[in-house]
């Protein structure tokens, strides 16, 4: 018996799963590499009319690309500075002080997780449009200013602020546990030496939190580099291209035919840029024990007593954040949904308040079909992703297969592929093979399952790893088959992890804008792409109505995730 046959006999399930992951993960990447070397103006990469070329790489390496990369880096770094500045203040208030109503504040900080980024961008456009944005009209009336402005969302500064605020909930989650667990002994020693509180924070607290801050920074850096929603909604109108929107424009130009070869070349460039911080992130995690502060009997977690100044300025800081990120966006969407066309609030506009947009859209057959598609897509993507992730994690954690490390690597690898690039790769595959699913909901399910299998396997690896193997061994000793042991023993015990991962995948799938814009057809339109189309055609009332419906759906899913998540 050959070594390959012995390996297959020992782990028969690992091979088909590995083959499926290779197709799902490496297939799009291979197609991108192939397409990037093809001349595809008005044709597909695999068609005879296409020819080999180095022109795509020459243009990607031209001076014009430098400006796009610079915009991408400026937006990314600026947004991270905003996000970490806000998140560290909030984490310190909630986890390191006796700030009142901490549990309620914690929930409020995370509440905007349920609002998709593209809806926040639409709401901010209503608020900070330089001509008739609500905030600008208010400021001009208050200070008797003339002309447009004084604020303008359609600038790099506006994009940075909005992108930074959208990053706050996840950044806060990444930092809060480290703030909560830090030993107060070191800070006490600094205070006993005569150091002021700001000096203690700067010289002791922040250095001790270095691994948590750096790892969160690098993780969010990779996520922000591939950001699409805000650059697409704000940046395209402002004439500020970044790599993600450049790829999108090459796929769906306003005039002319798609250039898949050029889009593929830009996609490979974006992958290369994203991989750098992810590699750095792995090195940071590997060295995190150098900064450990939780030890034996000397460990002491203590909260700083919040005086009236801390409560006052902390409350104002928190209120400003919630006002900009949650309250004002929702209120302006409600107001816009009640107007036949967008106008700032005024006594005259009150006379035009109407629910007609709700009646027009919520009874429309196409909108109802989009809603059903959205719910169906979220459910199917959740089931497909969790089925694949559970199978991969069981092999990785439970089996002795030599393919475990390969499976784990392939399952995590989609995290390093930007969504816009993965969507392009999936589109190219199914445009060139004779499987008629392009433009249907099934290609969206495949893309979303590929995208989020990395997230689901991280959760399932932990969940399965917490269940001792002896329970399944006992079932096997009683005559149960491996499948029965998994179904009757393991699945019930990891149900909390399964439900949490399922709801999280459903939430992210429903919020996703990139894949529907690239892959959906008329019969598979979902709410995210429908809202984009309404906004693009200037239907402000319809955009606001469907955005509010979308917020209700995603906030409910986010609340479900928090409810079943371990505390």
User: Mean pLDDT lowest for which of 91-105, 139-153, 244-258, 314-328?
Assistant: 91-105
Phi, psi of 439 (to 5 degrees): 85, 0
Question: Please, are residues 334 and 358 in contact by the beta-carbon 8 Å criterion?
Answer: no
Phi, psi of 11 (to 5 degrees): -135, 70
| Confidence (pLDDT) at 301 | 55
| Confidence (pLDDT) at 71 | 96
Phi, psi of 51 (to 5 degrees): -135, 165
Confidence category of residue 62, pLDDT binned at 50, 70, 90: confident
CA distance 238 to 160: 13
CATH class of 11-53+355-567: mainly alpha
- Average pLDDT along the chain: 86
Measured CA distances, 517 to 73, 90, 281, 417, 495 (Å): 24, 35, 31, 18, 33
Question: Please, are residues 195 and 202 in contact by the beta-carbon 8 Å criterion?
Answer: no
Tell me how far the alpha carbon of residue 258 is from its chain's centroid.
26
Count CA atoms within 13 Å of residue 427 on its CB side.
27
| Confidence (pLDDT) at 268 | 95
Question: Please, are residues 183 and 239 in contact by the beta-carbon 8 Å criterion?
Answer: no
User: Mean pLDDT lowest for which of 262-276, 289-303, 305-319?
Assistant: 289-303
Question: Please, are residues 228 and 298 in contact by the beta-carbon 8 Å criterion?
Answer: no
User: Which residues of the chain are in CATH 1.10.3720.10 domains?
Assistant: 11-53+355-567, 60-244+309-350
pLDDT single digits (tens) 326-343 = 999 999 999 999 999 999
Q: Does residue 158 surpass a pLDDT of 60? A: yes
Tokens of 224: 């922000």
Could you give the angle at which helices 63-96 and 102-110 cross, rounded to 10 degrees? 160
Q: Which CATH number fits domain 60-244+309-350: 3.40.1670.10, 3.40.50.20, 1.10.3720.10, 3.30.750.24?
A: 1.10.3720.10
Q: Does residue 33 surpass a pLDDT of 70? A: yes
| Mean pLDDT along residues 84-89 | 93
Look at residues 162, 100, 177 and name the one whose alpha carbon lies nearest to residue 129. Answer: 162
Provide the whole-model pTM. Answer: 0.88
Question: Following DSSP, what letter does each residue of 56-108 receive, concatenated?
Answer: HHHHHTSHHHHHHHHHHHHHHHHHHHHHHHHHHHHHHHHHHB--SSHHHHHHH
Tokens of 554: 């995603």
> Which class for 355: exposed (0-12), middle (13-18), buried (19 or more C-beta within 10 A)?
exposed
pLDDT single digits (tens) 403-433 = 888 998 999 899 889 999 999 999 999 988 8
Confidence category of residue 291, pLDDT binned at 50, 70, 90: very low
Tell me how far the alpha carbon of residue 278 is from its chain's centroid.
15
Tokens of 416: 């390093």
Q: Does residue 567 surpass a pLDDT of 60? A: no
């Amino acid at each position: 018996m050959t070594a390959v046959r012995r390996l297959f006999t020992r782990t028969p399930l690992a091979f088909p799963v590995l083959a499926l992951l290779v197709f799902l993960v490496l297939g799009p990447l291979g197609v991108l590499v192939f397409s990037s070397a093809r001349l595809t103006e008005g044709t597909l990469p695999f068609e005879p009319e296409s020819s080999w070329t180095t022109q795509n790489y020459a243009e990607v390496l031209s001076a014009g690309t430098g400006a796009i990369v610079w915009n991408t880096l400026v937006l990314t770094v600026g947004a991270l500075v905003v996000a970490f500045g806000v998140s560290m203040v909030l984490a310190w208030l909630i986890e390191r002080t006796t700030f009142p109503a901490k549990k309620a504040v914690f929930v409020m900080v995370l509440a905007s997780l349920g609002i998709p980024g593209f809806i926040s961008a639409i709401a901010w456009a209503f608020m900070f449009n330089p001509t008739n944005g609500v905030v600008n009209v208010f400021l001009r009336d208050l200070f008797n200013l003339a002309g447009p402005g004084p604020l303008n969302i359609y600038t790099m500064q506006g994009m940075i602020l909005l992108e930074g605020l959208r990053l706050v909930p996840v950044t806060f989650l990444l930092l809060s546990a480290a703030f909560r667990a830090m030993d107060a002994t070191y800070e006490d020693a600094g205070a006993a030496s005569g150091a002021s509180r700001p000096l203690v924070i700067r010289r002791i607290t922040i250095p001790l939190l270095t691994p948590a801050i750096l790892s969160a920074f690098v993780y969010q850096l990779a996520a922000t580099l591939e950001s699409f929603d805000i650059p697409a909604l704000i940046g395209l109108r402002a004439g500020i291209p970044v790599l993600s929107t450049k790829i999108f424009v090459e796929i769906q130009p306003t005039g002319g035919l798609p250039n898949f070869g050029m889009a593929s070349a830009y996609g490979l460039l974006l992958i290369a840029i994203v991989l750098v911080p992810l590699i750095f992130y792995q090195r940071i995690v590997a060295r995190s024990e150098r900064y450990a502060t939780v030890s034996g009997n000397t460990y002491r977690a203590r909260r700083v007593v919040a005086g009236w100044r801390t409560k006052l300025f902390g409350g104002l800081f928190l209120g400003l954040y919630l006002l900009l990120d949650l309250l004002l966006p929702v209120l302006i969407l409600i107001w816009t949904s009640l107007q036949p066309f967008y106008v700032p609030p005024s006594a005259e506009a009150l006379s035009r308040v109407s629910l007609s947009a709700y009646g027009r859209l919520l009874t429309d057959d196409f909108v109802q079909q989009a809603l059903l598609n959205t719910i169906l897509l979220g459910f199917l993507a959740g089931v497909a992703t969790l089925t694949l992730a559970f199978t991969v994690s069981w092999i990785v954690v439970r089996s002795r297969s030599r393919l475990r490390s390969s499976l784990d690597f392939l399952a995590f690898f989609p995290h390093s592929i930007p969504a816009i690039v993965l969507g392009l790769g999936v589109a190219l595959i199914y445009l060139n093979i004779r499987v008629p699913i392009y433009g249907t909901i099934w290609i969206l399910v495949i893309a979303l399952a590929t995208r989020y299998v990395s997230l689901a396997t991280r959760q399932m690896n932990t969940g399965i790893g917490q269940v001792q193997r002896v329970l399944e061994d006992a079932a096997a000793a009683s005559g149960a088959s491996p499948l029965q042991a998994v179904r009757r023993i393991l699945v019930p015990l990891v149900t909390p992890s399964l439900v949490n991962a399922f709801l999280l995948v459903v939430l992210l799938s429903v919020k996703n804008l990139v894949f529907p814009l690239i892959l959906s057809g008329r019969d598979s339109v979902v709410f995210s792409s429908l809202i984009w189309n309404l906004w693009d055609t200037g239907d402000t009332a319809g955009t606001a109505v469907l955005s509010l419906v979308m917020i209700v759906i995603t906030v409910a899913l986010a609340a479900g995730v928090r409810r079943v998540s371990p505390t």
